Structure 1
Amino acid sequence: MAERAKFFDDIAGVAGGAFSALAGIGEEVTALVRARVDEAIAKLSLVRREEFDVVAELAASARAGLEQSEVRLAALEVRFAKLQPHADAESDHDPHAAHGAPGGPPTLSDEPPTPL
């Protein structure tokens, strides 16, 4: 009877050792597969999910900034359009403005000014 109990104890010990060995092999296989997958990702120029999420967040932020800029530009264009008729009306009252004469805007010339 004692021999039989010892036999089962030995079998239990061998089975426990086998399970430990299998667990170690499983961890080794997992590490090896992970390394191979990382190499494949590097070769294919793929990005990780975290990197993609960061870039997507930056793109969303840029898109929001662009939309704000477009709204601001539209408001400035409206203000400019309101001011534009006043500028056109002032140039209509100055008959010399179109010819660059005194009273009008100065003209740019490549020739030196003539002495008086």
Structure 2
Amino acid sequence: MQTRGKLFDDLSQLMTNAAGMAQGVKTEAETAMRSFMERWIADANLVTREEFEAVREMAAKARAENDELRARIEALEAKLK
């Protein structure tokens, strides 16, 4: 009977080690994938959300200023006629 208990203890230890190793492999794979994605994004020259929002705001201001200038030009042209 003592042999059977030792067998189960060894099997239990083996399964525990295998689970720990699988967790380590999973963590390492996630880290490798994250590093790959970060390099890919950096190489792709993508803009950040903050940069995009800043440019969008600048474009909106320029558009508003353009509309204002167009109205002034039209008013001046109307005075000349």
Q: TM-score, normalised by structure 2?
A: 0.66
Q: Which structure shows the bigger proportion of residues in helix conformation?
A: 2
Q: Distance in 2 between matches of 1:71 and 1:41?
A: 37
Q: 1:46 to 1:75 in 2, by over 3 A?
A: same
Question: What amino acid is the match of 1:30?
Answer: E
Equivalent residue, structure 2, for 1:60: 56
Higher-RCO chain (CA-CA 8 Å, sequence separation at least 6):
1
Q: 1:59 to 1:41 in 2, by over 3 A?
A: closer
Q: TM-score, normalised by structure 1?
A: 0.51
Question: What amino acid is the match of 2:65?
Answer: S
CA-to-aligned-CA distance 1:11-66 (integer Å, 9 cap, x gap): 01111012102211332233234334544555xx3135x61x33332232122112
Structure number with larger C-alpha Rg: 1
Equivalent residue, structure 1, for 2:27: 27
Structure 2: unaligned runs, 5 residues or longer: none
1:40-55, aligned counterparts within 5 Å? 40-42=40-42, 45-48=43-46, 51=48, 53-55=49-51
